[in-house]
Amino acid sequence: MAFWRWGNAQAAHVVVCVHGLTRQGRDFDRLAQALVAQSPHPMQVICPDVVGRGRSDWLADPAGYQMAQYAADMLALLAQVQNQMDPEHPMSTLDWVGTSMGGLIGMVLAGQPGLPLPAPIRRLVLNDVGPAIAWSAVQRMQTYVGQYGQYRDLDEAAAALWALSTGFGPVPPDVWREMSAHMLRPGTDAALTLHYDPAIGVPVRALTPEAAAAGEAALWVLYDQIQAKTLLIRGQASDLLAPETAIAMTQRGPRAQLDTWPGFGHAPTLTGDAQIAVVAKFLLGD
């Protein structure tokens, strides 16, 4: 599994930023750089490419593209980060920023106190995701995940990606082009194609309402066990995180602080200055 590190590799304060279903770790370039720059103490920000995405390897069996695999990979990653640090100055503070799927992985890890994390997750940012995911959003994902072709150039690819991503809210064209460049790999005949394994769509399309309901029940159990101080960001027009789910998350478990963002759907990119400021204040404040 590939990952991107920003800041001081020996810093005891580690922030892990994990992307959404079809994205990759470079989505957090701007947020990571801002956190490192604004932190009053040394910090490292780790932005993995979840298996099957970006620079990470693809799984031989598509059935492995599941939450249990992703959570296990993150435990291995954090153990590796810890092993690279000075044993006399180990990881002391661990924070998590998760967009959509990355937030679900964060809930799985933060909601199981017995897991071998180098440090407990202290602060958890859930970017437009909760234990309950609207079935209509799942159906939307089933129509496009893994269904992609080739593009003549970066501009054509960026336009195609934007057609699927308007819920991300306002993103300046130059920033979107930069983000899109990290979503691509060489195709055939000098064309470009998307970076991720099309097979990640197999378990998504296999999901049924019954299986989704069972997963939701399990996630609520985990959510109720979270001890981390939690910030829940919701795009006001989100089709994935329902308002009633967001409200419930403020009333149980870690009683998340809810910040609803007008002009955004699923899910804010956390690239704009105002978006970054909200996350930085939560992670770097008292």
- Ordered by where they begin, the domains of the chain are 3-284 (3.40.50.1820)
Determine the pLDDT at residue 189.
Answer: 86
pLDDT digits (tens, 9 = 90+) for 234-279: 999 999 999 999 999 999 999 999 999 999 999 999 999 999 999 9
Determine the pLDDT at residue 198.
Answer: 96
Determine the pLDDT at residue 152.
Answer: 94
Residues 93, 12: Cα–Cα separation, whole Å: 6
Average pLDDT, 10 consecutive residues per value, the chain (286 residues): 97 98 98 98 98 98 96 98 94 98 98 96 98 94 92 96 92 96 92 96 95 95 98 97 98 98 97 98 93
Residues 269, 276: Cα–Cα separation, whole Å: 9
Residues 200, 164: Cα–Cα separation, whole Å: 17
The closest of 91, 89, 134 to 241, measured between CA atoms, is: 134
Determine the pLDDT at residue 178.
Answer: 97
pTM score of the predicted model: 0.97
Determine the pLDDT at residue 200.
Answer: 97
User: Which residues pair with residue 96 across a beta bridge?
Assistant: 16, 124
Determine the pLDDT at residue 157.
Answer: 96
Determine the pLDDT at residue 188.
Answer: 86
Determine the pLDDT at residue 86.
Answer: 93
C-alpha torsion sign, points 189, 191, 196, 201: negative
Determine the pLDDT at residue 73.
Answer: 98
User: Which positions ≥6 away from 53 have C-beta within 8 Å?
Assistant: 19, 22, 23, 24, 195, 196, 197, 200
**Alpha carbon of residue 153 to chain centroid:** 27
User: Which positions ≥6 away from 77 have C-beta within 8 Å?
Assistant: 1, 3, 46, 48
Distances (CA, A) of 72 to 42, 105, 123, 124, 160: 27, 10, 20, 18, 33
User: Which positions ≥6 away from 273 have C-beta within 8 Å?
Assistant: none
Determine the pLDDT at residue 60.
Answer: 97
